[in-house]
Structure formats: structure tokens, C-alpha cells
Amino acid sequence: MLTSIIAFIIVIAICVLVHEYGHYITARLLGVQVHEFAFGMGPVVKQIEQRAGQDGRPRMLWSWRLFPVGGFCRLAGMGEESDGEAVLPGMGFNEQSAWKRFFILLDGALFNVLLAFLLTAVFLCGHGVMNMEDTRIGTLMEGFPAQRAGLEVGDRVVAVNGRSVAHWREMSEALREAAVKGDVRLEVQRGDRTLTVTTPIPDNAEYGHPMLGVTPALLRYSPGQALQNAAGYTWRMSKLMLKGVWDWVTQRQEVDVTGPIGIASMSGRAMREGLWSFVTFLALISLNLGLLNLFPIPALDGGRILFVLLEMVFRRRLPERVENWIHMTGFALLIALMIFVTWQDVYNLFWTR
């Protein structure tokens, strides 16, 4: 339980702070006043005042708050001024042109996607992925035919019952077809030698089909290759996530939706499995947060972006009080949805075991 709580705090803190930093740095670059950047939520523990600079930068606060869950960036001119805080002329968020407000709102989500991309690149470079384009053995599973037949890590299977194989999926298909006919003859390249190994591969009750008991070797990319391939992985994962949301909304198929308790449980599991599992999970959560925030739902960044885009098209701005009412309504609906999803998490945790 403690591991799950700690892991959840770390995941949420990193993802939310990166998101808010995207808003912060874009606002600063575009000349928008920032009242406060806070680490955590709740009562203030410590504040550092950054005084107005000679370059015209206004005063702002860096805050550490009691509960270490996420944080926030409070921009001037959004109706969140505290006592004694003034909005400098021309530096309020709502005073800016539509394109400036668009990028300030957009960059929170983009920073989450960027974090997911960078973590994926680190994973591809530091840990690697299973190389399905080769037949080199990465690990031997305890008690399976491969181990009993004397196969070793690093061996490359080049033929199954005389059929040449070059890719892992091709080898797996050949093994299943050969296993039902009796003993399987493997030609294995080990260093400069080619060995012949014969072994039966019976059906495995746990997996439901014949299992030799080997997994692919890991392929680690150079830093440059990792960055190139991370873009493809991030894009494909984004499409899968968006498809999952669409299937859930249209009820095309049953999709598991989880809330804070479910995320905490998964965070703890990922942390217990090791560093690379946790890095992968953090990348997925950051990507989820970034994409979901772009949905055109009131109270989310995507909802605010939609209003800005409509303003660009029609060259007319919705009255501020009307827009605020829409966002407050959307926020209430999101809170209701979160309560419902959290209740499902609690139910699944305690009553479906």
C-alpha cells in the first residue's frame, strides 16, 4: 500500500508539474504575467518571491504546498488574483491575442507528450525492446524444453525441421507446426558453430499451445536511433489510446476506465517491477494526460482551446462570464465522472476479488 501511495505521488507530481511548466514557460516567453508557480496543493509551506526584474519581468511567487500531488501555474488576468496582486497593463492572459492564448493553453498538453516521447527514447536506449526481427535467444524459461535441450542465451535459431527462419514470428509459427508432428529438429548458430538440437515440444497447459520456452533478445538503440524510433512508438500509442476512448464513448467494445485508486495500484505494481517498468508506466500516464487534456471538453485545456479557435474563425469572443459558466459546468461534470470512476475502482478493489 505504501509503495502504491509513493509511486502515485511521484507519477502525478511529475506529470502535472511538466504540464504546468508547459503553460508557465510559454506564458513567460509570450509576455504574460505569472502570479505563482506551485509545487503541490493545499496550504503554503514555503514561498520564495521572485522580485520584478530590470528587464520588465513582474514579481511572481514560487510556492511549496503541503500536499505533494501535482501543482499549478496561476496566470494573471484569469480571475484568480489574490489580495494585493495586480495585473500589469497588457500582461494579463485574457488581454492577449487569440494565437498567444492558443499556444499557452496548448503547450501544457504538448509538454506531457514531449515527456512521454523522451521517456520512451530513454527506455529504447537504456533497456531496449524485444528484437522480433531476429531469432536470437534472450532468455530461457525455467523448466521448458529449450533449457532441457541445452540451448543457451545468445543462440540464434536458423532452421526448424529444415525450414529456414529469419524472424521471431516466423520461427514461432514453424515451431508450432513442427511440434504436433513429434520431436523438433533445430539448427542453432552458436558463435562460429552450427549445432543441431532435437527436442519434443509438448503442449503447455498454462499457455494452451506448444512452448519451447525462449524469449527474444533485447535490441538497444543508439541515442539517435532511440529518438527516431521513440517518435513512432509515441505516435502508435497515441492512436491506440484515442481509439480506446472512441470505443468507450461509442460503446463499440468494453474498455476498462480507471481513476486515482486504480492508477495508484498500477503505479505501485510498476514500481515493484523495477525502474524500467516504472519509466514505461510514467510515459503512458503522461501521454494519457496530454491527449485527454486536448479533448474539447469544458474546463479542460481542450475546451478552452475550442473557444479560442471559434474566436479566430468568427472574430468574435464569447462573453467572459458565459465562458466561465460553461467551464464551471464542465468542471462539475468532470468531478461527477471522477467520483463515479473512483467508486468503480473501490468496488473492484474490495468486492470483486
- Domain assignment of residue 342, yes or no: no
> For residue 139, what pLDDT is reported?
93
Q: Do 110 and 10 have their domain in common?
A: yes
Of 79 and 121, more confident: 121
If asked whether residues 251 and 183 sit together in one domain, one would say no
Q: Of 50-64, 121-135, 243-257, 262-276, give the range with the top mean pLDDT.
A: 121-135
Cell triple for residue 247? Answer: 470505443
pLDDT of residue 146: 92
Ranges 4-8, 122-126, 212-216: which has the least confidence = 4-8
Q: Are residues 67 and 192 in the same domain?
A: no
Measured CA to CA, the distance from residue 136 to residue 188 in angstroms comes to: 9
Closest CA to 20 of 87, 69, 89, 81: 69
- Judge whether 336 lies within some domain: no
Averaged confidence pLDDT in the chain: 87
For residue 76, what are the domain limits? 2-127+235-328
Q: Is residue 294 one of the residues assigned to a domain?
A: yes
Same domain, 21 and 110: yes
> Residue 284: CA atoms inside 13 Å, Cβ hemisphere, count?
13
Residues 18 and 108 in one domain: yes
| 20-55: b (≥16 Cβ within 10 Å) or e | bbbbbbbbbebebbbbbbbbbeeeeeeeeeeeeeee
Among the candidates 174, 195, 219, a domain finishes at 219
Q: Do 206 and 142 fall within a single domain? A: yes
Percent of the chain with pLDDT over 70: 93
pLDDT of 150 above 60: yes
> Could you tell me the three cell numbers for 24?
508557465
242 and 211 assigned to the same domain: no
pLDDT tens digits along 273-286: 999 999 999 999 99
Q: Are residues 176 and 272 in the same domain?
A: no
The last residue of a domain, from among 186, 219, 252 = 219
Higher pLDDT, 2 or 259: 2
- State the first-to-last Cα distance of the chain, in angstroms, to the nearest integer: 17
Mean pLDDT to the nearest integer, 3-13: 89
Q: Let me know whether 24 and 48 are in one domain.
A: yes
Task: Specify the range with the lowest mean pLDDT, choosing from 189-193, 303-307, 347-351.
Answer: 347-351
Per-residue pLDDT at 203: 86
Q: Where are the alpha helices (DSSP H) in the chain?
A: 2-29, 98-126, 145-148, 168-179, 223-250, 260-273, 275-293, 301-314, 320-351
Closest residue by Cα to residue 76 from 127, 19, 33, 119: 33
State the Cα angle at 242 between 238 and 244, rounded to 5°.
115
Q: Are residues 121 and 143 in the same domain?
A: no
The Cα–Cα gap between 282 and 9 comes to 11
pLDDT digits (tens, 9 = 90+) for 320-347: 777 778 878 877 877 777 777 666 666 6
**287 in a domain, yes or no?**
yes
Q: Does 153 fall in a domain?
A: yes
Greater confidence (199 vs 351) lies with 199
What is the pLDDT, as a whole number, of residue 126? Answer: 93
Asked, for residue 348, whether it belongs to a domain, the answer is: no
Question: What is the mean predicted confidence (pLDDT) over 78-84?
Answer: 80
For position 169, which CATH number holds?
2.30.42.10
In the prediction, which pLDDT does 138 show? 94
Residue 72 is predicted with a pLDDT of 92
Give 300's DSSP letter: S
Give 59-63's long-range contacts (Cβ < 8 A, gap of 24+): 60/33, 60/34, 60/35, 60/36, 61/35, 61/36, 61/37, 62/36, 62/37, 62/38, 63/36, 63/37, 63/38, 63/39
How many structural domains comprise the chain? 2
191 and 267 share one domain: no
- 37 inside domain: yes
Q: What is the pTM of this model?
A: 0.84
Q: Which of 194, 219, 244 is the last residue of a domain?
A: 219
The string of DSSP codes covering 317-330 is PPPHHHHHHHHHHH
What does the angle CA 163 – CA 166 – CA 171 come to, to the nearest 5 degrees?
60
111 lies in the same domain as 246:
yes
Q: Quote the pLDDT of residue 53.
A: 61
| 119 inside domain | yes
Confidence (pLDDT) at 257: 62
